[in-house]
Amino acid sequence: TGFLWLAAAPTCLLLIPVISTCCQSLSFNVGTAGAKVFSGPATEEFGYTVHQFKNHLGKWLLVGSPWSGYKQDRKGDLYKCEITGSTSNCQRLNLQYYYPGICAEVSPLFKPLPAFSPALQTCGGPMDVAIVLDGSNSIYPWPPVVDFLKKLLENLDIGPDNTQVTIIQYGVDPFIEFHLNAHKTKQSMITAAAKIPQRQGLETNTFRAIEFARKQAFLPENGARPGASKVMVVVTDGESHDKNLRDDVIRKCETDRITRFGIAVLGYYIRNDIDTKNLVDEIKSIASTPTDRYFFNVSAEEALLEIAGSLGDRIFNIEGTGKGDGDFQMEMSQVGFSAHQTKKQNMIMLGAVGAYSWSGTVVHYTSQKSDIFPQTAFQTILQDKNHSSLLGYSVTTLNDGTMEYYVAGAPRSNHTGQVIVYTINAKGQPIVLDSQRGDQIGSYYGSVLCPLDVDKDGVSDLLLVGAPMFMSEHKKENGKVYLLTFTKGILSDQGVLKGPSPAENARFGMSISAVLDLNMDGYSDVVVGAPLEDDNRGVIYVFNGDKKTLRTEYSQVEWGGLRPI
């Protein structure tokens, strides 16, 4: 009998003994007989993450429980489970502290240490929003407009310290429905918006209403806050009767740094077969630039509801960055989405998938400083035009015996996924050496990385790359694991591991782990998880090392039994 290795799933952990018959035979088996099972609350997703830990008191498992806590504030927690004891005992550590964007450490005795923020950047602060709403006679029907208001407000972070909203309705003359400081809660504001009547009017004096909003909506006595971002949303269905005021009014809005959204409702024009070009041009002239970000048009009043969510998201973008014309930088970075402790540099790599509007980046953290790499560092290799690469989804290092190379996965890069290898130059900036792209859109290539030193000589022989969403010819999320060799920072494709049947939904490669020598032949081995296989109960595949590579045929499949995965 020999080594112990671990299978995990939410609600269950399983320590599995390895039984080997070596002498005259190389056969071996990984069995579940006598396994040690650690169970936890299913509602807490007990077992979502697992980490082996050792101190002077013994050997432990640290088990993540990300849904731990009360329903209204599930902050997550950790459990410590003793491996060497006679009982399968797990104790909650009660570390339910709320650290927004901050990493927490524990001591060898599981005591919380001072938290650190590897990429602290505050959001843009409060926002004051003025909705300037056309209520003239041509707006019909009115209820869809009210529904639009309600849904838009639902998508905003309403509150005295966050977003405040005032609604100004106009036709001939503007009328304040409620001021910025009239409502302290989102529900109160939505209730008030639901009761707003259409005030009508025979004219559409849009620019008089915009000027009124500029001068009145953002006054301190009406609830405006010093330093708050100013946003105006103009909704109208017709060309204005006061177009002569446009240039002066918009210039003053620019001077006051008011970000403006323009929404053209084309229903009246379409119903009466009127050319919409002039209306669209006018509302575009109201909107801030770039126009494609701040201008909307809908075919009818009923269609307003369809853009409420998108409009709310774009307003939120302003709230997060504090800039009317900027993208997110590190405000939504999710630093720590992935983490890896380097061996040579005594440094932690932290993936920041949300950085730069979800292009992603990597943070190198030491006790002295945090190096947050700018968007330009990986921009050329990612070719990320749509802010979706998620660089930092996975991070690791490769070692050639003298030098350590940094590796980061970007599973949505160019839609097919990408793995990037880089080093750091004398100026502390990353230098990209090589990259590999996936070969199927949506496969999430690079979401899982696993370096492997097969012959245990301290040099990385392989990099295993998971693409768990890879779709088979049977239109199943079968998954795929790629073998890449590594030489001086350059990756070379060496094929794939042979896993589940193509007819299976398996997500093979959702987890990949290097393990000690299971079959006692002197080489490191690998286990690969397929959590959806076997009717969502999950399967573990064992692959054995061979000199400096890995056998692509699995040596054992661990099915069912206690259903450990």
Three-class SS string for 100-126? CCCECCECCCCCECCCECCCCCCCCCC
Longest CA–CA separation in the chain, Å = 98
Q: Give 290: exposed, middle or buried? Use CB within 10 Å, 0-12, 13-18, 19+.
A: exposed
pLDDT tens for residues 115-140?
A: 666 655 555 568 999 999 999 999 99
Q: Would you state the torsion angle of the CA atoms of residues 490, 495, 500, 506, taken in this order, to the nearest 10 degrees?
A: 30
Residue ranges of the chain assigned to CATH 2.130.10.130: 329-559
Long-range contacts of the stretch 89-95 (C-beta < 8 A, 24+): 90/38, 90/39, 90/40, 90/63, 92/65, 92/68
Q: Which pLDDT score is estimated for 4?
A: 43
Q: What backbone phi and psi angles, to 5 degrees, belong to 187?
A: -65, -40
Q: Which pLDDT score is estimated for 269?
A: 94
The percent of residues above 90 in pLDDT, for the chain, comes to: 50
In angstroms, the CA 45 to CA 65 distance is 5
Nearest-Å Rg of the Cα atoms of the chain is 29
User: Sorting pLDDT into bands at 50, 70 and 90, what band is 1?
Assistant: very low
In angstroms, the CA 133 to CA 191 distance is 17
Tokens of residue 259, six digits:
């970000």
In the CATH hierarchy, which fold is given to the domain comprising 329-559? Methylamine Dehydrogenase; Chain H (2.130.10)
pLDDT tens for residues 506-548?
A: 999 999 999 888 888 889 999 999 989 988 888 899 999 998 8
In this prediction, residues 154-164 reach a mean pLDDT of 89
Q: Which pLDDT score is estimated for 562?
A: 40
Q: What backbone phi and psi angles, to 5 degrees, belong to 509?
A: 100, 5
Whole-number mean pLDDT of the chain? 85
In angstroms, the CA 436 to CA 431 distance is 15
Strand runs (DSSP E) across 111-239, as ranges?
A: 127-134, 163-170, 174-178, 229-236
What CATH class is the domain 127-321? alpha beta
pLDDT tens for residues 2-33?
A: 334 455 555 555 555 554 444 333 455 666 66
Residue ranges of the chain assigned to CATH 3.40.50.410: 127-321
pLDDT higher at 194 or 347? 194
CB 361 within 8 A of CB 383: no
CB 311 within 8 A of CB 261: yes
CB 245 within 8 A of CB 157: no
pTM value is: 0.64
Close Cβ partners of 549 (under 8 Å, ≥ 6 residues apart): 454, 461, 462, 483, 485, 494
Residue type present at position 485:
T
The alpha carbon dihedral of 499, 503, 504, 506 has a sign of: positive
Beta strands at 258-265 and 229-236: parallel, antiparallel or unpaired? parallel
Tokens of residue 165, six digits:
């909203």
pLDDT tens for residues 436-468?
A: 999 999 999 999 999 999 988 889 999 999 999
